[in-house]
Copies of this chain bind each other. A is one copy, B any other.
Amino acid sequence: MKQDFSPAWLDYSLPVEVAKNKRLVKRMDIKEALSQAYTGEAKAALRLKVYAQKAEDEGYKQMAKLFRVIAFSEEIHGARALKGLKEIKSTEENLAASFESETQVAEVAYDRFVKLAEAEGNKEAVLHFSQSKDVEETHAKLYKQAMNHFMEERETDYFVCKICGYVADGVLPEECPVCGAKAKMFVAFQG
């Protein structure tokens, strides 16, 4: 019955350093508290969505709903904390930031994860990380495209692969170019 909660709420722990003789206490500031709240709530929201999926798989429709509702509530808390950090800029800047972030995530983070998984011979992890890397690269392209056509808002439909997260722009593909999933595995974002 016991689960390890550490990834969820240990983020909230208060970093107090006490140097014994000097009575030096480094206290958390509001910015750090907001940052921890943002991280903790974002992780909680996603975890609850996975719990919701699991509950649905097990036939507990009402439990799935409760998890989803509380996930939504946690997102409100997390968004409030993020806004409190005053890091949200104009849409044009947010777009540029997202482009840079995706590029780093693909080229630095996931690239390392893939190499690590390969070195360990963990095929499942290689597949997961390399597909995520490929998808992040396509995200970067979508952002770049949007940056180039920022002022001429064209209307586009999107289709997202539920398996690997690949985002198809405009047309639903017959199968996912990243993971090979069939068209029925895509979620449409239309209108």
Contacts and interface: CB of A to CB of B under 8 A. Distances in A.
Interface of A: 1, 3-5, 7-9, 12-14, 27-30, 33-51, 53-55, 58, 60-63, 65-70, 72-85, 87-91, 93-98, 100-101, 104-105, 108-110, 112-113, 116-117, 120, 122, 124-125, 128-129, 132, 135, 139, 142-143, 146, 150, 153-156, 158, 160-167, 187, 189
Given A3-B89, A9-B104, A45 B42 contact: yes
A43 B36 CA distance: 11
A5 to B, nearest CB: 5
B162 A76 contact: yes
24 contacts: A3-B96, A3-B100, A7-B35, A7-B39, A12-B109, A27-B116, A30-B122, A30-B125, A33-B113, A33-B116, A39-B39, A41-B46, A42-B43, A46-B79, A49-B75, A49-B79, A51-B88, A58-B90, A58-B91, A63-B150, A73-B135, A76-B161, A76-B165, A77-B165
Copies in the assembly, this chain: 2
Dominant SS among interface residues on chain A:
helix
The 8 closest A-B pairs by CB, nearest first: A12-B109, A76-B165, A73-B165, A3-B97, A42-B46, A42-B42, A69-B158, A51-B94
Contacts of A124: 84
Contacts of A189: 65, 68-69, 72
